[in-house]
Amino acid sequence: MQLEQQLRDRLEKKDILLMTHIVLGYPSFEVNREVIRQMVENGVDCIEMQIPFSEPMADGPVIVRANQEALKNGTKVADCLAFAAEMTASHDIPFLFMTYYNIIFKYGEKTFFEKAKECGIKGCIVPDLPPEEGETFLQLAAEYEIAPILIFAPTSTDARMRVLATHGRGFIYCVARRGVTGVKSVIGEEVLEYLGRCRKATSLPLAVGFGIQARDDVRALIGKADMAVIGSQTIRLVDEKGAGAVGPFIAGLR
């Protein structure tokens, strides 16, 4: 089943979905495994797994550090692919890859998609690949039925959003504000107006990330978006309190 349909099926039973983010190999694949188990058991609907890159240009300090540490631990792209295959076989939710374009480019775009398909990956988020530069990427994504997740930003004009929407599949990732990942923002007038613009530009489900830390943050999005994204917060949590803290945190969000 394709990603969008999987999410829509889940939306039949829930008023908002949760997507979480992990950096592969940080602090270790062993901890990744335990964190993912806790996330899935506590109702996470979708997980983006970041293949670490040495130059994570669009990420904030928490994820930058996690990328660096993962690489220092010797994390290889091949390890990430093997781990992904294990996760998709163990858990019945959609898994995505998030990474920067060079990882895919260097691996070989076609081989990467072949391998990702084999691993049971449902979608791919590449923050430094605008559709203008992603012609072959988008073709291969269609061929291998892996959803290319496109990104809306508050600086995107209505016309630009409509262009992006024609290339996106699965869902649209709406960045709630200017800036890098991991900074908390408040759902105010401005964000609501922006989400309204996003809604008008596409019929795809909308995912929103803005530094979600508690149940109220998630509730504020009901009716405005389809999926709340928890990014840096669980990484911080694992750093501070260990993998065991993730389950209760996720359970408390909905």
195-228: burial string, b at 16+ Cβ within 10 Å, e else: bebbeebbebbbbbbbbbbeeebbebbeebbbbb
159 touches another protein by CB under 8 A: no
144-157: burial string, b at 16+ Cβ within 10 Å, e else: bebbbbbbbbbebe
101 touches another protein by CB under 8 A: yes
For tokens 């959803």, what's the residue? 147
**Closer residue to another protein, CB minimum distance, 35 or 64:** 64
Residue 46 tokens read as: 């979708």
Q: CB 74: neighbour CB atoms within 10 A?
A: 8
Residue 205 tokens read as: 């489900």
102, 139, 185, 213: which one binds another protein (CB under 8 A)? 102
> Omega of the bond prior to 154 within 30 degrees of 0, cis?
no
**Closer residue to another protein, CB minimum distance, 72 or 215:** 72
Q: For strands 46-50 and 95-98, give the pairing.
A: parallel
First CA to last CA across the chain, in angstroms? 26
How many CA atoms lie within 13 Å of 241's alpha carbon, on the beta-carbon side? 11
41 classed as catalytic: no
25, 27, 56, 247: which one binds another protein (CB under 8 A)? 56
76 touches another protein by CB under 8 A: yes
**Closer residue to another protein, CB minimum distance, 18 or 77:** 77
Residues 45, 59, 217, 226: which is the catalytic one? 59
Q: For strands 227-230 and 17-23, give the pairing.
A: parallel
**Closer residue to another protein, CB minimum distance, 36 or 51:** 51
Residues 4, 45, 48, 226: which is the catalytic one? 48
Query: Segment contacting another protein (CB under 8 A): 2-10, 97-105, 221-229, 233-241?
Result: 97-105
CA dist 237 and 177 (Å) reads: 23
145 classed as catalytic: no
Radius of gyration of the chain (CA): 17
Query: Segment contacting another protein (CB under 8 A): 25-33, 150-158, 211-219, 228-236?
Result: 150-158
8, 14, 43, 60: which one binds another protein (CB under 8 A)? 60
132 touches another protein by CB under 8 A: yes
Q: Which of residues 194-253 bind another protein (CB under 8 A)?
A: none
Kindly list the residues in this chain that would bind another protein in the complex (CB under 8 A). Answer: 53-60, 64-65, 68, 71, 76-77, 100-103, 105-107, 127-130, 132-133, 150-157, 160, 164, 175, 178-180
Q: Would you name the residues annotated as active-site residues?
A: 48, 59
